[in-house]
Amino acid sequence: MPTFATNPALEAAIIAHADEDTPRLAYADWLDEHGDPDRAAFIRVQCRLADMPPNDPDWVDLREQQDELVARLKSRHSDLTPDAPDGFYSGTEFIDDHEEPYRRGFPHFIDCQIDGPDWTLKEIARVTKEFTRLVRTTTIRGFSFNDIPLDGLTDLLAAPVATELTGLALMHEATTNNRRTEAADFFRFVGTSPAIRRVPQLFLYSPYHPIPAAELAKAKTFDSVRRLTIQSVAGTKTELEKLTKAAWFRRLRHFRSHLSAPAVATPVLTGLGKLPELHTLELPDLAASSVAALTAGKFPALAKLLYGGPLSTKFARQLAKARFPALTVFGAKNRDMNNDGLAELLGAKWFGQLRVLNLADNKVGDKGVKALAAHPVAQTLRVLQLGDNAFGKSGLAAITTEGAFPEITTLDLHSYTKRKGTSSELAVLVAAMRLPHLRHLDLSGWPLGDAGAQALAANPSLAGLTRLNLDVCGIGDPGAKALFASPHLQNLVELQLGSNAIKTGADALADPKTMPRLGECWLGGNKLTKKVGEKLERDGLYLIT
C-alpha cells in the first residue's frame, strides 16, 4: 500500500476549530501539493455540499463527484477513520442518507452501540471518558447513543466537551412498563440540556412509544437545530400545532418523520407547509388521508421531497395539484404507481422543474416510460432512477435513444426481477445508447450476457462513465475481457461485476494500467479461484472477490 503524507499541525488546527472551513481547505491545498489529490478534492466537495440546498445549481454535480471520490478513497477508509473504542462503531462508509459518517471531508458521526442493560455506572463513566477523548483528539462531533438511559445521558451531556457537539442521535428505549412517562422525562431532558444549544443535526428515535409533541414544543435549547429527524411523534392537535409554531421549529431546513397516523400527520404537515427555509422533506410513511394537507402547503423553499404516501391514480392526481415552487428533487420509491399514476404526475406544474427523479420499485410500464421521455422534463433531467419497474425492451429503448434524455448524468435501471430479452437483443439496445453526459450507469439484473457487455464496451458514447454496475447480468469471460479492454471505459472509478459467470475474464485487472483510476471493484459471486483473486489485488483498489 502506498503511504500518504499527513500534516499534524494542520490536523490539530482543524480539531481546534471544528466549525470552520478555512483550516480544512488549507489542508486540502497542502494535500494537493503533497500527492493526495483525491482526498483534497473530497474535502473541498464536502465543504461545499455541507448545508447546500438541493436546488443549488451545483448540487447534482457535487453529489456525483462525492460518489466518485468515495470510490477512489474506499481502500483507505480504515486509515482515514479514527480507531473506535470498545462499544463504539465508526462504520465502513464515507456517506449515508441519515447521520453523516463524514462531513466537510473528515470523520463526523460515530455510533455508541451498548445495550440498555449494559449501561452500568462503571460503563457510563468509561463511555464519558472515551466520548471526551474523541471530541478532543478527532474531528468527530456527532454521536449516536442507542438505548441509553436517562441517567447515562445526563452524565454524558454534563461533560464539558458536550457543548462542542454538532450532531446527536438518541434512541430511547423504555425500561419499565410506564413507557409514556419515561419517554416524556427523557425528551423533556433533551429539550432543556444546554449541551444541545450548538447542535444543528438532531435525530430522535423511540421504537416503543412515540415522542411526545408537548415536550418538543417546550424545548428551550433547540435554537441551532436545522435538521431534525423524529421517528414518530404523538400528541393532541393543539400540542402538535404548538410544536410546528415553536420558534426553533420554524427555522428547520430538513425534516424527516414517519407520519402514518392521520391525526398526527395533518397538523404537522400544515405547519411544515409554512416554514420559510424548509428545503428537504422526507416522509417515508405518510397517511393517505393526509396527502391533502401536503398538497395544501405553500412550501416556499422546498427543493427535495421524498414521498412515502400512496401513488395510485387518485393520489397521484392529488399530489400533482401541489405548488412546490422550488422543487427539483422528487423521490417516490415502492409506491405501487402505474402508468396512469405517472401520467397524473406528468401534468403537475412542478414536474417540469425536476432535475432528480427517483421512481424505483413501482409499476411503470413501457407506455409510462415513453410518456416520460416525451415530457419536457426529459430534456433537463440529470438523475433518473427507474429500477425495478414494469417496463421492458421498448421502455429501455425510449430511455437510451439519442436525444431522449440529453442531460442525464446518472441513470439507474437496476432490476431484481427477471427481464425478458436475449443477450443479442439487449446488445442492440446498448450499442444504440446515446447519452452524451452519462457518468453513472446501473444495468444490474438485465440479461446482457457476453454480447451485451461487448456492445457496451464498444460504445464510444459511454466514454464519460465513471461508475458502472453490471451485477447479475449473465456476463462470462468474453464479456468481462471486453469491458476491461475497452478504450471507452478506462475512466471508471467504480465497477460492479458481482454474481456473474467470470473465471479468468478479469485477469487484466492485475495490470495497474488497466482502468488506472479504478478505486472499487466487486467480483464476488463469480467463479474466480482464490489464487486468481489474489493476483488481481493492487494498490489503491478496494477489491471484493
Q: How confident is the model at residue 209 (pLDDT cuts 50, 70, 90)?
A: confident
Of 53-67, 167-181, 255-269, 373-387, where does mean pLDDT reach its minimum?
A: 167-181
**Mean per-residue pLDDT over the chain, rounded:** 95
pLDDT given for residue 275 in this prediction:
98
pLDDT given for residue 115 in this prediction:
85
| 384 has pLDDT over 80 | yes
| 180 has pLDDT over 90 | no
Residue 25 belongs to what domain range?
8-69
**DSSP string computed for 481-538:** HHHHH-TTSTT-SEEE-TTS--SSTTGGGGSTTSSTT--EEE-TTSS--HHHHHHT--
Kindly state whether residue 38 falls inside one of the protein's structural domains: yes
pLDDT given for residue 181 in this prediction:
87
Residue 467 one-letter amino acid:
R
Q: How confident is the model at residue 445 (pLDDT cuts 50, 70, 90)?
A: very high
pLDDT given for residue 182 in this prediction:
87
Kindly state whether residue 192 falls inside one of the protein's structural domains: no
pLDDT given for residue 421 in this prediction:
79
| 167 has pLDDT over 70 | yes
Kindly state whether residue 468 falls inside one of the protein's structural domains: no
Kindly state whether residue 304 falls inside one of the protein's structural domains: no
Question: For the segment 334-356, what is each residue's pLDDT rounded down to a tens digit?
Answer: 999 999 999 999 999 999 999 99
pLDDT given for residue 1 in this prediction:
62
Number of domains in the chain: 1
Kindly state whether residue 64 falls inside one of the protein's structural domains: yes
Q: Which of 286, 249, 280, 227 is nearest to 99 (CA)?
A: 227
Kindly state whether residue 36 falls inside one of the protein's structural domains: yes
> Do the Cβ atoms of 430 and 461 come closer than 8 Å?
no
| 261 has pLDDT over 80 | yes
> Do the Cβ atoms of 131 and 111 come closer than 8 Å?
no
CA distances in angstroms from 254 to 201, 281, 305, listed in the order given: 9, 6, 10
Kindly state whether residue 59 falls inside one of the protein's structural domains: yes
| 101 has pLDDT over 70 | yes
pLDDT given for residue 5 in this prediction:
87
pLDDT given for residue 157 in this prediction:
95
Spatial separation of the C-alpha atoms in residues 308 and 119, rounded to whole Å = 36
pLDDT given for residue 173 in this prediction:
78
> Do the Cβ atoms of 271 and 244 come closer than 8 Å?
yes
Question: pTM for this structure?
Answer: 0.96
Q: Which of 448, 434, 422, 364 is nearest to 397 (CA)?
A: 434
Kindly state whether residue 123 falls inside one of the protein's structural domains: no
> Do the Cβ atoms of 229 and 98 come closer than 8 Å?
yes
Spatial separation of the C-alpha atoms in residues 107 and 63, rounded to whole Å = 18
Q: Which of 51, 3, 101 is nearest to 252 (CA)?
A: 51
pLDDT given for residue 313 in this prediction:
96
Q: Which of 376, 286, 269 is nearest to 333 (CA)?
A: 286
Tracing cell 464476488 back to the chain, one arrives at: 524
